[in-house]
Chain A
Amino acid sequence: MKNKLLFIIIFVFILIVGAKNSFFVVTEGRQAIITEFGKPVGDPITEAGLHYKKPFVQEARFVDKRILTWDGYPNQIPTKDKKYIKVDTTARWKIVDALRFIQTVKNESGAQGRLDTIIDGATRDVISNHNLVEAVRNTNAILKIVAEKNSQLKLKKQRGEDFLEEETAQDISTISVGREMLSTLIRDSAQKEADKMGIKIIDVQLRRISYERSVEAKVYERMISERKKIAQKIRSYGQGEKAKIEGRLDKDLKDIESTAYRKAQEIRGRAEAKATNIYAKSLNQGPKFYEFERTLQAYRNSLSKKMNFILSSDSDYLKFLKTFK
């Protein structure tokens, strides 16, 4: 009876060990490859779940099935137009051929190392074969924006409206490739190498493109001088407008004053003419009497009491002084 118990225990033990060695779980997001004494057998298992292998002689090796991330170290690369920029790339990749992957790079850290070389190299090649703007801009949309701005500015100028001028100082060149296309070029070029490792590079992203320190300082300098130029332009535009207004003030003032003078003189002239006409008409009816009467009035008005008057006794006024006739 005791032997029987022992036998059962041993049998169960063997069963457990055997099961443990022949069934294995492939979790979601992973894939497995079965090797027999180190030699790969059959296709990689990509379906998640419980799977079977021959116990003891076969071994299951797991690799990731998910999209993995590669993060590159920022590189300093001169562009085709000799501008030094720092390019920081990232990439997403996945293991599509687990067998080849294990054979060529063994594991992920091996793959990372290889990807560093491949993607950095591809990035370097592509960036240095293109001008800086190709890596900065994606489309030529900006040209449209600039053109629109300029035409609006022109229109405003034509209409003579008040405008705060703020134009783009430098000319903006056309691009033929663009940022997105550059990353595709990098990807395609890196993919050729990655194929050998059973890796698919899904995309390469130009995460950051920044100026190298010394270039950055120059760019800032340029930005500052550009701003200053614009500020100066705005200021002198203000002064110009001021002068224009002052000129208009001067002109309008003179116009108003002289017009008023002219009108006043015209009015006076007309009135005097009319008055002269009225006098002439009435006085012409008795010119002699007018002369007489007006002369007497003039005497009355002009001869003052302080005058010395010598009067001859034979004047009409004094004629009765000497005789009563």
Chain B
Amino acid sequence: MSFQQNQGPDFDQEIRKFFESFRRNFKGIGIAILAVFLIVMARATIYTVEPDEEAIVIRLGKYQETTSPGLHFKIPFIEIVEKIKTTIVHQAEFGFRTKRTTYRRTQYSDDTFDNESLMVTGDLNVADVQWVVQYKISDPFKYKFQTRDPERNIRDISESIMRRVVGDRLVTDVLTIGRVEIASKAKVHMQEVLDRYDMGISIQTVKLQDVNPPESVKASFNEVNEAKQEQEKVINQAERRYNEVIPEARGKADKLIQTAEGYGMALINRSKGDAAKFLSVLKEYKRAPLITRKRLYLETMEEIFARMENITIVDSEVKGLMPVFGNMKGATSEK
């Protein structure tokens, strides 16, 4: 108080002035303060839950309720609200990572994740399996408070289960026909384990992506495929050759038989014709055999001798001609 008195009336006046101006401006400042207070209170009381979320309300540490999308009230400072995306499908990738999906084409990280993807198959071979797990948060409260690190649990279990499922199969099946079955089995088993933790996760799909033999073995797997191609090629070639040759041979065989049949028919027809001709002539011959014989003989002889260029006629009385025969040509020319 002594301090105040020391300052004298000047100070008193100052204070009075201040309060007066304060009173004058009180209305404006008061409204401003009230507005700020109301905004702060509103922000602490009202909250919205987006369509893809659900919110859990915690009152003094204790879970109260889960609220659905829309506008909600809470007790300020006493209740805490946590929003969790429940409709969104989350994806965990194994053996590869998506780098970004904003470009036209999705880009993948070039790093290899062999640790994750290499697994031992039932026949003690190794396969490189890449897969994705898609899951949704089915119960936000359990998701938040049942386990501390849900994502990590999902990853751990997924790896463990995938190896277990692949471990019961042959490497060739894993690489070829087993894909769908492996994925569906893995999904079922994963869900079983996660349900045991009761952590509010529901697995939507498990999908196998690239499934390959390990890098250094790939070439030999390709060789098997090539061998298959080669095998087919060789067999096809042989079959083609067969199909070329055999039909042709059948055609030729058919021709041979047809020709023989033609020959036979011709032969029989000719014999029939010859026989008919002979019988007709014979009939007439029998009526006048002698004269017919004579006629036929003479006609034939005439024809033969008419075309002969070299005929020697020897009188039956002339003897000793025979030695000349040795030099026939000379003998005739001398004449």
Residue numbers of A with Cβ under 8 A of B are: 25-30, 47-50, 64, 66-69, 71, 90, 92, 132-133, 136-139, 141-142, 145-146, 162, 164, 166, 168, 170, 172, 179-180, 202-203, 205-211, 216, 219-220, 222-224, 226-228, 230-232, 234-235, 237-239, 241-242, 245-246, 248-249, 252-253, 256-257, 259-261, 263-265, 267-268, 270-272, 274-276, 278-279, 281-283, 285-286, 289-290, 292-293, 296-297, 299-300, 303, 305-314, 316-318, 321
Contacts and interface: CB of A to CB of B under 8 A. Distances in A.
B31 to A, nearest CB: 30
B227 A235 contact: yes
Interface residues of B, number: 117
A270 B264 contact: yes
Interface in B275-321: 275-276, 278-279, 281-282, 285-286, 289, 293, 296-298, 300-301, 303-305, 307-316
Nearest to A272: B267
A286 B293 CA distance: 13
Interface in B132-180: 141, 144-149, 152-153, 156-157, 159-160, 163-164, 167-173
A317 B123 CA distance: 110
16 contacts: A27-B61, A50-B61, A67-B147, A68-B149, A145-B169, A179-B163, A230-B227, A234-B227, A241-B231, A248-B242, A253-B245, A275-B270, A286-B285, A290-B278, A292-B293, A311-B311
B261 interface: yes
B227 A308 contact: no
Interface of B: 58, 60-63, 115-116, 118-126, 141, 144-149, 152-153, 156-157, 159-160, 163-164, 167-173, 193, 196-197, 199, 213-214, 216-217, 219-221, 223-224, 226-228, 230-235, 237-239, 241-242, 245-246, 249-250, 252-254, 256-257, 259-261, 263-265, 267-268, 270-272, 274-276, 278-279, 281-282, 285-286, 289, 293, 296-298, 300-301, 303-305, 307-316, 325, 328, 332
Contacts of B123: 142, 168, 170, 172
Contacts of A290: 278, 282
Contact of B231 (A132, A226, A235, A309): A235
Given A141-B168, A234-B231, A241 B217 contact: no
Contacts of B270: 275
Contacts of B267: 271-272, 274-275
B61 A48 contact: yes
Contacts of B116: 208
A242 B234 contact: yes
Given A48-B62, A69-B156, A276-B271, 13 more contacts: A30-B61, A47-B62, A49-B61, A49-B62, A69-B148, A137-B168, A138-B164, A202-B197, A208-B115, A241-B238, A292-B293, A312-B313, A317-B301
Nearest to B302: A317
B271 A275 contact: yes
A9 B257 CA distance: 133
B304 A303 contact: yes
B238 A246 contact: yes
Contacts of B145: 28-29, 66
Given A49-B62, A92-B147, A267 B224 contact: no
B310 A92 contact: no
Q: Which of B62, B121, B230 has the most chain A CB atoms inside 10 A of its CB?
A: B62
B297 to A, nearest CB: 7
B160 A228 contact: no
Top 7 closest A-B pairs, CB basis?
A271-B264, A238-B231, A260-B253, A282-B275, A264-B260, A227-B220, A275-B271
A152 B193 CA distance: 36
Contacts of B285: 286, 289
Given A283-B278, A309-B311, A257 B227 contact: no
Contacts of B224: 166, 227, 230-231, 234
Contacts of A211: 120, 126
Contacts of A232: 227
B220 A224 contact: yes
Given A142-B123, A142-B169, A219-B124, A25 B60 contact: yes
A308 B310 CA distance: 5
Contact of A69 (B62, B120, B152): B152
B315 A223 contact: no
A278 B217 contact: no
A150 to B, nearest CB: 12
B316 to A, nearest CB: 4
Contacts of B221: 227
Given A92-B153, A228-B220, A238 B230 contact: yes
Contacts of A205: 156-157, 160
Contacts of B232: 238
Nearest to B297: A296
A275 B309 CA distance: 38
Contact of A268 (B115, B168, B260): B260
A169 B335 CA distance: 106
A255 to B, nearest CB: 9
Contacts of B118: 210
Nearest to A146: B170
B230 to A, nearest CB: 6
A249 B60 CA distance: 92
A27 B148 CA distance: 13
A137 B167 contact: yes
Contacts of B282: 285-286, 289-290
Contacts of A50: 60-62
A67 B146 contact: yes
A210 B120 CA distance: 7
Contact of B314 (A206, A209, A310): A310
B95 to A, nearest CB: 12
Contacts of A164: 228, 231
